[in-house]
Structure 1
Amino acid sequence: MTDVSVIVVSYNTSELTIRGLTTLLGTPSTASYEVIVVDNASSDGSADAIEAALPQVRVVRLPRNVGFGRAVNAGATHATGDYLMLLNPDAEPVGDVIGAFLSYASANPAPRVYVGRTLDVHGADDGRSIYALPTLWGYFCFATGLSTLFRRSALLNPEELPDRPRDVPGPVPAGSGCLLLIDRALFTALGGFTADYFMYSEDIDLSQRATAAGATPTLVPEAKVLHVNGASSTSVNKRIMVLRGKTTYLRLRWSPTRARAGRALLLTGIALRAAASRLTGRAPYWRDVWSHRTTWLPGWPAPDTASPTGENTPTAAPAVPTRQL
């Protein structure tokens, strides 16, 4: 049996996907693995290019763009590994990332969910592979600008866990889907990623549900990738998608009263940044994000329950369905 099934979701990122997978496949590994690329109906010929360049990779072609989580769910139906490893198409492995994950998981099987590290182009940890679960306090800090002014403060910027060393293994509240290993049996038992999300926060949601099921998301520092952050996204579009993911999480996981408070704090935070942008002339993207608040405030639309894959069409189709941090 295969140890690990690597799942990559591709959308108009053929060059990045081929480069990252070439590095992965060219690095000797202590683990046995297969690679599954799920192509989200790319318009740049990604599926054909990947098949031609990497014939050992299985390419699953979706007839329409279903977003990140649902594409992973589709790829998981073809997986044979004991574990699923999610890898961003714009992430380039550093060393034997599969072996690093599997070695730690074999010695520590109880966590069942394992998170890697994402590095910037200089090889430094970018601080974006682990997160705290959302809280009203965290959103208050965002609404007042405290989390931006004091990013290194664990008290005032709790979401990014600035005081959590990235080179020390151990439990974390939630991990990014950019580089994540999960027991396939657990992924199946959880029903995979929640279909309500098109992009963003689906990994936070998965971490929360896995923890509720008895798993312990755990950081594995030896599993690392270089992440070309935002390689194919625009600043405004990405922020709108991130906010849609956040408000979808509030809708699904918080009580109605708490969710309303969370949305109000997010709205306040964006209004504050948009107002500051008007006064200073800087960061004009916040004004655009504010102007699109009726799009992101409700979150992603509920999935089509008549569709076996939970497909739906977002009210404002994102231009960048590649997982970005």
Structure 2
Amino acid sequence: MTSGPTTPAVSVVIVSYQTRDLIRRALSTLRTASPAGSYEVIVVDNASTDGSAEAVENEFPEARVVRLTRNVGFGRAVNVGASRARGTWILLLNPDTELVGDVIGEFVAYARANPEHRVYTGRTLHDDRTDDGRSAFALPSLWGYVCFATGLSTVFRRSRLFNPEELPGLDRSMPARVPAASGCLMLLQRSLFAELGGFLPDYFMYSEDIDLCHRATLLGASPVLVPGARVVHVGGASSTGVNKRIMLLQGKTTYLRLRWTPRRAAAGRALLAAGVAVRAAGARLTGRAGYWRQVWAARRTWLAGWPPPTQLPAVEVAGPAQSATPGV
């Protein structure tokens, strides 16, 4: 861990919301796994009420804690942390992760040897150390949504043809270029993050990382998977069940609104709606996976996507002199 005026190589940015025990575990494994690394830690707390910020301040004094006055979502909170970062690279890390080995060292070594990629992800694992397949994705496509609408992506989840979005054929034991990296575990050049203007405030949660990778690729980046950078990912600790699925769909429809033509976006939304309707009907018939019926009932919410930034309040940092953070 760095001390004094030394400029760190990596700024680790973690966004926390109601994850007190999880973030303590994440920071503990980070401290143990990378004792000699040149890095700093910035924790942005989204107005948690479970003592997350206090626990980090008390147990990890090396971390800088930035407290927000309200929950502003993932991307806008990351932007706050990144605006305070000093490292050459920014490492986005979920609070519900546990590092396996020297993740920072693995990332930095690969990034220095292969700087042309500019965006890097690793492997997110189950507790048994098998890949959970959630660290890299394909960009959304009409074909992928056709497969979702017809249920093919569920029935043939391991098929490259019928489940293209999850990249089931990707060999994650080898370095590989990927279309998009997950914000759960993403290293990128701080200069690139600044050039992109950070995450778009249009997203509260989900798909903001895919959008960022899409925009980074337009600037010449080529996201890559670094197999030696591994974390165990509890997954969805801050949002689970019906609410998580609704937010996932809100992220998807926001991406369609921003990145696809109006006609294509309308087709994408119709296919997403059809896929949820099919699953809700199946849940009614079988009595299983009843959450899909609740997701279908909330379709007006997620088909509209997240509210546009003009409708969002400013991001305010809590403290003796509360201030709004511009541009997020």
TM-score class normalised by the smaller sequence: over 0.9
Q: Distance in 1 between matches of 2:273 and 2:137?
A: 21
User: Secondary structure of 2:211's match?
Assistant: helix
Residue number in structure 1 paired with 2:208: 202
Residue number in structure 2 paired with 1:247: 253
User: Secondary structure of 1:226's match?
Assistant: strand
Q: Distance in 2 between matches of 1:80 and 1:199?
A: 25
| Residues 17, 238 of structure 2: 8 Å contact kept | no
Residue number in structure 1 paired with 2:165: 159
Residue number in structure 2 paired with 1:77: 83
Q: Distance in 1 between matches of 2:168 and 2:252?
A: 20
User: Secondary structure of 1:236's match?
Assistant: helix
Task: Say if 1:114 and 1:176 are closer, same or farther in 2 by CA, change over 3 A.
Answer: same
Task: Say if 1:48 and 1:310 are closer, same or farther in 2 by CA, change over 3 A.
Answer: closer
1:104-150 superposed Cα distances (whole Å, 9 cap, x missing partner): 00000000000111000111010111100000000000000000000
| Residues 31, 102 of structure 1: 8 Å contact kept | no
Residue number in structure 1 paired with 2:95: 89
Residue number in structure 1 paired with 2:107: 101
Residue number in structure 1 paired with 2:134: 128
Residue number in structure 2 paired with 1:317: none
Q: Is 1:261 the counterpart of 2:275 in the alignment? A: no
| Residues 98, 223 of structure 1: 8 Å contact kept | yes
1:1-325 to structure 2, matched below 5 A, reads: 1-29=7-35, 31-304=37-310, 309=315
| Residues 304, 310 of structure 1: 8 Å contact kept | no
Q: Distance in 2 between matches of 1:298 and 1:37?
A: 31
Q: Distance in 2 between matches of 1:31 and 1:230?
A: 28
User: Secondary structure of 1:304's match?
Assistant: helix
Offset of residue 177 of structure 1: 0.4
Letter paired with 2:259: R
1:185-214 superposed Cα distances (whole Å, 9 cap, x missing partner): 000000000110000000000110000110
| Residues 195, 310 of structure 1: 8 Å contact kept | no
Tell me the matched-pair count: 311
| Residues 120, 223 of structure 2: 8 Å contact kept | yes
Letter paired with 1:163: G
Unaligned runs of 5+ in 2: 1-6, 318-328
User: CA RMSD for the aligned pairs?
Assistant: 1.4
Task: Say if 1:170 and 1:234 are closer, same or farther in 2 by CA, change over 3 A.
Answer: closer
1:26-83 superposed Cα distances (whole Å, 9 cap, x missing partner): 2235530000000001011211111001111100011111000000000001100000
Letter paired with 2:126: D
Percent identity over paired residues: 65
Unaligned runs of 5+ in 1: 312-325
Q: Distance in 2 between matches of 1:20 and 1:242?
A: 24
